[in-house]
Structure formats: structure tokens, C-alpha cells
Structure 1
């Protein structure tokens, strides 16, 4: 459920919003930020695939040593289609790119990628603990380690906090970065930072240094 990372002592840490197949856009943003693959780390809030132009390339990202992603709902939609035959929801939500691929090859690649994509990250940054999940954290960060199906579902699907404008703080963590819900600009609600800006629609992919986020956590 949860993977922890100690502080990066040799480089910088970044987080990127839902990539959704926009591989070239991601590469451009990394170049603009001066990202150094030998020492920097990139964390992603999930939804690597679907809707954008190059899901196949994005599905290769979890195998890069500098890239780390939590699982998003689109990875799980793809898994349900490729492993359980539940094709309807995935195809309706951007999975049609698989028609141009060998489904068995995609299934194997996705299976291997998901083994590297837990539900949550916890990263030490500037003396703080920052969490990353795809959609919404629980009210207490420690609940993630319960391996509870309802909590797992909310981590990749829920929009209750953003829907209600809930600014209560998640206990047990300094801040949590999430994607899933498309906004015009990133937004804090309590100590939860929503960063998805709809790259596949708007051409705006949010890439932020985790140290910058740590400096702006609401007190």
C-alpha cells in the first residue's frame, strides 16, 4: 500500500500531475526544469495512460530508475479490462489506444508496472513528510497501512474532499499531493494539494519541486 523514501541527498525531487499519455509534454517539462536523471527523482500522482497521444511510452516510465508513480484509476481500469475482461469502462475512458497494440503485450507490461506502483508514497523533504496518492487521502495518514479495500478505493477514486471544499487537515502527515480532479490551477485544501491541470486537454502539465511545495504548506 505505502512506499517510503528517505531524503534525496544528491539531487532534487519533483512531482508531476496526471500524465495521461502526454509523454512528449513530460519530456519537455523535464528539460525546462533542468531535470538530471542521474540524481533527481520524479514522483507522479498516477494516471500515466489513456486519453493522450502516447500511452505506450508512458507505460514504460515505471521502469526508469528516476521515475516513481502511485497507481491511478486509469491503471486499474486497464487492469480490469486486460485481466478480467471488463472492457466497457476502460474503453469509454480513454483506453481505445490498446486497439493499436497487442493486448497481451500491454497486459504483461501493465502487470509489471503495477508491481512498482503502490497506492501511496511518503517522502522526506526539507525535514517534512510529504505524501502522494492519486485521488484522496484518508483523514488519518496511518489508515493507509491497514490494507483496507474501502481505503484503497478512495485513494484512487474519491472526490469527496474537493467536492465539499473540505479544508480539514489529514492527520499524521505534513502534506499530501494528489491529482485525479482537473483544476485550472493547483489548489490547497487544508494540507492536501490538488495539482492536476488536465494535460491531455489543456497542454498544461504541472511539474513542481517538492521543496517548493514543502515551503507553501498551509500552517
Structure 2
């Protein structure tokens, strides 16, 4: 299945653009945090960093909500890739179950196809969001290139899809700045606090803390720092 490589999102002149890490089927928790944060449906926008599904109790509802709610956007994560691949071979279904995808076994054939086709069509591998004078790159795991513009112009391949959604070596390595973009935001690695490396930021904190890192995109620039500490990661 050919996926959308990149999508560019124009500025939001009316409201606030929010960012959130991996949801993993915990829709009610996300909705509660959005309400608490003062998120305004129809005015503000929410950008999700993939892995909407698996592990949590409401994977199907989370996908439906993200696909049908105006102003909600997401990139694809490795768990969505496994969801899309499960129809190709029984081995992929088994692998998907092992990472929390058993919920998809209960979908009807037509229900699965609808969710899979819409997810592949509407969720790209990466996004660039214009935010004031800044541009923010969104990709689930990490930028596969040292220059963001290469990803914006890249032709789809299965290798590119894997490179956008699985590796996390940049988060464990030395400080590095991704050229061609103000900052790159990702999820994927379970960590108790936001991780930064140069202008790269990882915010998948729910599994470790029970709370999503949910913040206006503008705030990410105050989180980009050259001062780093040790951190532990969980298997994505």
C-alpha cells in the first residue's frame, strides 16, 4: 500500500495549534486533558505524532475520532503501519497482536478496510506545520535525513516508511540539528520526560507518567535546549 510521504499545513490564523504524543487507544484520557487545557474545537488544531492505536482500551474509537474530528491531524506511527499490513499476511496479524493489536481481530472486513484506507489516505508519514515565523516538522520516530527538506521532497518507499516510524537512534545520540526546519517533533520512545537533541524533541510520556505531553506548538521552542540529561526508553 503506497502511503503519503509528506503534507504541508498552513498557519492557523484563528486559534492555537497543539501537539500531543502517542495516544495508544487512551482516547478518554486525551479528551479529558484537552478539556482541562482549554482546547477549543473548531478553532484550535491538534497534531498527533502517530501510534494512535494498540495497548489502550479504545483503539478503534481513537482512529475514528482522529479521522472524523475537524482540526485533528496525525502522522503515521509504527503501530499504524502494522495495522495497515495485517491484511497482507497472517504473519503480520500475529505480529500486530503481539504489540497490542488484538482489537483489530474484532473488526468486520468492511470496517477494517474503511479504517485502513482512510488512515493511509489521510495520515502522512510526515508533516510540516507553519507556526508564525517558524516551521515545525512532525514525524513519528525521527527524521530519516539530516535535512528536513529531503523528507519533504522524498518519493515514497517501504524503506522510507520504516525509517520514519521505527528507529530512535537520534534520541540516544549526541546533539544534532536537523537542517531546513525550526524543530522536529516526534513520539515513539517511552520516556518520563521530554527528550531534546539539538532541535529534535520527543514527547511520548504517557506510558511512563500516565499523562500526555500536550502543549501549544509555540511552546516547543522554549523546550529546545542544548542541556541534556540521562533518560530511559521503553520498547516502542
The verdict on how the C-alpha distance between 1:215 and 1:202 changes in structure 2, with shifts beyond 3 A counting, is closer
In structure 1, the residue corresponding to 2:86 is in which secondary structure? helix
Aligned residues: 217
Match of 2:62 in 1: 58
Which one of 61, 67, 82 corresponds to residue 72 of structure 2? Answer: 67
Please state if 1:141 is matched with 2:127.
Answer: no
In structure 2, the residue corresponding to 1:39 is in which secondary structure? coil
CA distance in 2, matches of 1:205, 1:103: 32
Please state if 1:120 is matched with 2:126.
Answer: yes
- Please report the RMSD computed on the Cα atoms of aligned residues, expressed in angstroms: 1.6
Match of 2:17 in 1: 13
Match of 1:161 in 2: 170
8 Å Cα contact 1:125-1:214 kept in structure 2: no
CA distance in 1, matches of 2:82, 2:130: 31
Structure 2 residues not aligned, in runs of 5+: 227-236
After TM superposition, the score normalised by the length of structure 2 is 0.86
The farther-off stretch of 95-104 and 171-180 is 95-104
Which one of 184, 203, 211 corresponds to residue 204 of structure 1? Answer: 211
8 Å Cα contact 2:192-2:209 kept in structure 1: no
